Amino acid sequence: MNLGATNGLIMGNYLSLYFAELNLKNISTDLSKRLTEIDCEFSYFSDDFYFFCNKNNNDKVVKIFDEVLEKYELERNEDKRKIGPTKLLIVIIW
Protein backbone atom coordinates (compact mmCIF):
# COMPACT_ATOMS: atom_id res chain seq x y z
CA MET A 1 0.00 0.00 0.00
CA ASN A 2 1.06 3.61 -0.51
CA LEU A 3 3.48 2.36 -3.16
CA GLY A 4 6.06 1.61 -0.46
CA ALA A 5 6.80 5.34 -0.13
CA THR A 6 5.81 5.71 3.51
CA ASN A 7 4.33 3.95 6.47
CA GLY A 8 2.19 6.98 7.34
CA LEU A 9 -1.51 7.36 6.78
CA ILE A 10 -2.95 4.95 4.27
CA MET A 11 -4.68 6.72 1.41
CA GLY A 12 -8.24 5.65 0.87
CA ASN A 13 -11.70 6.99 0.29
CA TYR A 14 -13.11 10.14 1.89
CA LEU A 15 -14.33 8.22 4.91
CA SER A 16 -10.72 7.23 5.64
CA LEU A 17 -9.70 10.89 5.43
CA TYR A 18 -12.50 11.81 7.84
CA PHE A 19 -11.33 9.31 10.46
CA ALA A 20 -7.70 10.28 9.97
CA GLU A 21 -8.54 13.96 10.49
CA LEU A 22 -10.61 13.09 13.56
CA ASN A 23 -7.60 11.30 15.08
CA LEU A 24 -5.28 14.14 14.13
CA LYS A 25 -7.63 16.67 15.74
CA ASN A 26 -7.64 14.63 18.96
CA ILE A 27 -3.84 14.37 18.86
CA SER A 28 -3.65 18.13 18.30
CA THR A 29 -5.93 18.80 21.27
CA ASP A 30 -3.85 16.54 23.53
CA LEU A 31 -0.63 18.20 22.37
CA SER A 32 -2.04 21.67 23.07
CA LYS A 33 -2.84 20.65 26.64
CA ARG A 34 0.55 19.01 27.21
CA LEU A 35 2.62 21.83 25.69
CA THR A 36 1.17 24.59 27.89
CA GLU A 37 4.22 24.49 30.18
CA ILE A 38 6.59 24.92 27.22
CA ASP A 39 6.81 27.95 24.94
CA CYS A 40 6.01 25.96 21.81
CA GLU A 41 3.62 26.32 18.91
CA PHE A 42 2.78 23.61 16.43
CA SER A 43 0.81 22.98 13.29
CA TYR A 44 0.06 19.95 11.17
CA PHE A 45 -0.82 19.17 7.61
CA SER A 46 -1.99 15.69 6.73
CA ASP A 47 0.19 13.48 8.96
CA ASP A 48 3.13 15.90 9.20
CA PHE A 49 3.54 17.90 12.41
CA TYR A 50 5.62 21.08 12.63
CA PHE A 51 6.81 22.37 16.01
CA PHE A 52 8.22 25.84 16.62
CA CYS A 53 10.03 26.16 19.92
CA ASN A 54 13.25 27.14 21.62
CA LYS A 55 16.03 24.65 20.86
CA ASN A 56 16.41 24.02 24.60
CA ASN A 57 12.95 22.43 24.56
CA ASN A 58 13.49 20.07 21.60
CA ASP A 59 13.89 16.93 23.70
CA LYS A 60 10.88 17.79 25.89
CA VAL A 61 8.69 18.39 22.84
CA VAL A 62 9.75 15.12 21.19
CA LYS A 63 9.06 13.23 24.45
CA ILE A 64 5.60 14.77 24.80
CA PHE A 65 4.82 14.11 21.13
CA ASP A 66 5.87 10.46 21.48
CA GLU A 67 3.72 10.04 24.60
CA VAL A 68 0.65 11.52 22.89
CA LEU A 69 1.15 9.35 19.80
CA GLU A 70 1.50 6.26 22.00
CA LYS A 71 -1.95 6.97 23.47
CA TYR A 72 -3.34 6.47 19.95
CA GLU A 73 -1.13 3.45 19.24
CA LEU A 74 0.95 5.47 16.78
CA GLU A 75 4.65 6.18 16.61
CA ARG A 76 6.87 8.84 15.11
CA ASN A 77 9.08 8.03 12.14
CA GLU A 78 12.57 8.96 13.36
CA ASP A 79 13.83 9.07 9.76
CA LYS A 80 11.51 12.00 9.01
CA ARG A 81 12.54 14.04 12.06
CA LYS A 82 14.26 17.28 11.12
CA ILE A 83 15.40 19.90 13.60
CA GLY A 84 16.83 23.17 12.45
CA PRO A 85 16.71 26.92 12.90
CA THR A 86 14.20 29.09 11.17
CA LYS A 87 14.47 32.75 10.33
CA LEU A 88 10.85 32.99 9.29
CA LEU A 89 8.28 34.91 11.24
CA ILE A 90 5.06 33.01 10.77
CA VAL A 91 1.84 34.87 11.45
CA ILE A 92 -1.47 33.14 10.93
CA ILE A 93 -4.63 35.21 11.05
CA TRP A 94 -7.78 33.18 10.80
For the residues of 34-56, what is the DSSP string, one character each?
HGGGS-EEEEEETTEEEEEE-GG
- For the beta carbon of residue 65, count every other beta carbon within 10 angstroms: 20
Nearest residue to 9 (alpha-carbon basis) of 46, 44, 42? 46
* Structural domain of 14: 10-77
Residue 83 belongs to some domain of the structure: no
Residue 58 belongs to some domain of the structure: yes
Residue 40 belongs to some domain of the structure: yes
What are the pLDDT digits (tens) for 56-93? 888 999 999 999 999 999 888 888 888 877 766 555 44
Q: What is the CATH number of the domain that holds 54?
A: 3.30.70
For residue 70, give the H/E element and its range: helix 58-71
What are the pLDDT digits (tens) for 2-37? 555 556 655 667 887 888 888 899 999 999 999 998
What local confidence, expressed as pLDDT, does residue 94 receive?
A: 45
Give the pTM.
0.72
| Structural domains counted in the chain | 1
User: For the chain, what is the radius of gyration of the CA atoms?
Assistant: 14
